[in-house]
Amino acid sequence: MPVPTTRRDGPTAPRASRRTSPHPLGVTLRPEGEGGGADVAVLAAHADAVEVCVVGDDGREARTALPDVELGVWHGHVPGLREGSRYGLRVHGRWDPERGLRHNPAKLLLDPCARGVEGEVDLVPEVFGHAVGADLRGDLAVPDGRDSAGHVPLGVALGPMPEHLRVRPGEQPRTPWSRTVVYEAHVKGLTKRHPDVPEELRGTYAALAHPAVLEHLTSLGVTALELLPVHASTSEVHLRRRGLVNHWGYNTLAFNAPHPGYATAAARAAGAAAVREEFRGTVAALHGAGIEVLLDVVYNHTCEEGPDGPHLSLRGLDEATYYLRDAGGRPFDVTGCGNSLDFGERRVVQFALDSLRHWVSEYGIDGFRYDLMTTLARGREGFTPDHPLLVALTSDPVLAGVKHVAEPWDVGPFGWRTGQYPPPVHEWNDRFRDGVRRFWLTDAREVALGHGAPDAAGRGLREFATRFAGSADTFDVTRGRLTSVNFVTAHDGFTLADLVSYDRKHNEANGEGNRDGSDSDTSWNHGVEGPTDDPSVLAARRRSTRNLLATLLLSSGVPMLTAGDELGRSQGGNNNAYCQDNEISWVDWDLADWQRDLLADTRELVALRSRYPVLQDAGVRRGHPVREQREDLLWFAEDGAGMTVDRWHDAGRRILQVVVDGRDRGLASVLVVVNAGERQRDVVLPRVEGLARFHPRWSSTPDRRRRAAAAGEPLRVPAWSVRVLATA
């Protein structure tokens, strides 16, 4: 079918004659001394022509056809493209959607490598490459001839970061994994309601650098701030129809530009360069406070959704290369988001690696958490630990020195890959999340209701101990226990307060009939669904909250806290608040007394991890063969005797003691006593050579006697509680 022509709003520049290169992709500005303008390279391997359109303030376009194409990359020099210029791309070629050819020069496309973005997506028929009606539904076979200019975002040409903001040697904290405590947060959600942040800064990048926010993070003791996506993004069609937005930002529009919506009004008014500088300044301020910055990045899919979605960038440039298709040539979605990038294509791997390097080199980013990373490690035969992208993370001179964390699954065939990623990738441990929740919540509910502890394989104390010890059943023990990034909650699912307050999700505000979100959050409402004034229920919930936090922060591995959990933040039982850019998702800093107490306890637990180095890596000598590692976790029953096979397999047993042993390194040892039963018990402290006395350091219950106890003495441990003692 013929491609529709587009109107010409401005002059078409002659084909450039200057020598350019097909790499790097995107816009590279030339100094005025070299004649100015910019070299542009665009991957469009199946196109017949590519035009760069510089858009003036009046909306008129000056177009330059890129003259050269090498290995699918069109490139050339564009004289009129300068610092601050707004630009888009128009691509000519065949229209054959069944073969992944969606070239339509009527659509002004965003450069996926743009360093700045201006404007938003208007939800109108013009932004679709195929013909649609007012309901935005139509026929993929018919290309749409209406011009999308004025309804889509534009790229903004930006040069290198200004000299005073460039990343300096020694600026980054470089916190070792053993001392890392991650704090997952949303730029807007964390700061929008903070009373000590000036109103004009709330909800912005600049707010993260405000002294009140820095003080909270440093006093809490976290070492790394993991930000939900800050890549420029937009909202899905189905959300826009319901008057909602994609608050979380897992819907990437441009991969090298910070999202303008998180910048202050002043920065947005000043333009893309000011937005970029605001975010870079925030990263530098966090570094100055000793806090690393990790970005949650979404390279697995884009905002263009399924085949009937909008025509904004990659779809019009080179859908056949960028998007995953099955053996029959049909779109193949392994993300559940409508499309998936094809990491079996070398150009897609290059695209992602270039973007990652950009964030490290230009902004000083310290690491990345990869959303649905299994998609990024799929080759032609599916997931492979030898995937080129994973190899590059080990060997690339820029990326090998930063942190990498996988969300180790996607929704495609054989997508769950927890424990299968090679170094240097660390992994979100969903087995930790599920096992710890079961132990303290759903199993505890069964015990409290008189049903007895579940007698399922691997449950009870065995699973608790396995998770506490670093999940050796999941991760390669030769890498050490720090491979596991432990978490009890994350942005996706119940908050910690809701985990102990709701048995069922309450997602009605999302407008999907409460069908969205997980149907099983392994939660326990402690007898009442949602808010209550019952003091016994509230006490039980607060005790369970502390038990979960203690397990998270004392276990082997790298702990990750979710923003607001230390404050008892609730989302009213919404376990999928991705579309709630309002008080449901924003952290409320107006704290009741019980919330201040919870914050104090969380600070104490993080401080314990710092005070006692033996908790940071549990003595594992990383890189040594297993046979050379001594047994540094010692397990005991309530009578002070060691755990036996029979005791481990006794489903009714709910008391456990573990000594995290630091003797051979000259470190203080820590004793953690767990009573997950319904009765208070006297527990005999274990006798271990060289460990004569234990000093109380923390308890999840209000009864916090500070008397030291000798090995072999009984210690009264309340029901449903954790106690922490140490030898010094």
Active centre residues (catalytic): 371, 407
CA distance 64 to 78: 6
Alpha helices in 308-396 (DSSP H): 314-322, 346-363, 373-376, 388-395
H or E segment and range at residue 272: helix 272-288
Q: Name the token pair of 289.
A: 């406070």
- CA dist list (Å): 374 to 50, 298, 389, 414, 708: 33, 12, 11, 9, 49
Q: 404 pairs with which residues across the strands? A: 368, 425
3-state class (DSSP) for residue 130: strand
| Closest by Cα among 60, 13, 5 to 40 | 13
Q: Cis bond leading into 24, ω under 30°?
A: yes
Are 186 and 491 spatial neighbours (Cβ–Cβ below 8 Å)? yes
| Cβ-proximal residues to 411 (8 Å cutoff; 6+ apart), any chain | 334, 335, 336, 372
Question: What type of residue sits at position 419?
Answer: G
CA distance 215 to 266: 25
Are 225 and 289 spatial neighbours (Cβ–Cβ below 8 Å)? no
Alpha helices in 650-691 (DSSP H): none
* Count of beta carbons in the 10 Å neighbourhood of residue 437: 23
The torsion angle over the Cα atoms of residues 144, 150, 153 and 159, rounded to 10 degrees, is 120
Are 517 and 248 spatial neighbours (Cβ–Cβ below 8 Å)? no
SS3 string, 609-647, reads HHHCCHHHHCCCCCCCCHHHCCCCEEEECCCCCECCHHH
For the beta sheet containing 38-43, the strands, ordered from the edge strand earlier in sequence to the opposite edge, are 26-29, 38-43, 73-78, 68-70
DSSP for 544-592, please give it.
Answer: HHHHHHHHHHHSSSEEEEETTGGGT---TT-S-GGG--STTTSPP----
The torsion angle over the Cα atoms of residues 182, 188, 189 and 191, rounded to 10 degrees, is 80
Phi, psi of 685, deg, nearest 5: -65, 140
**What are 592-601's contacts with CB under 8 Å, separation 24+?**
594/538, 594/542, 594/568, 595/567, 595/568, 598/542, 598/545, 598/546, 598/566, 598/567, 598/568, 599/220, 599/566, 599/567, 601/546, 601/549, 601/698, 601/700
> H helices then E strands: how many in the chain?
18, 34
DSSP for 515-553, please give it.
Answer: -SS-S------TTSSS----HHHHHHHHHHHHHHHHHHH
| Closest by Cα among 491, 492, 473 to 483 | 473
CA distance 179 to 633: 19
Are 26 and 115 spatial neighbours (Cβ–Cβ below 8 Å)? yes
3-state class (DSSP) for residue 124: coil
Q: Name the token pair of 132.
A: 């649609």
CA distance 464 to 442: 13
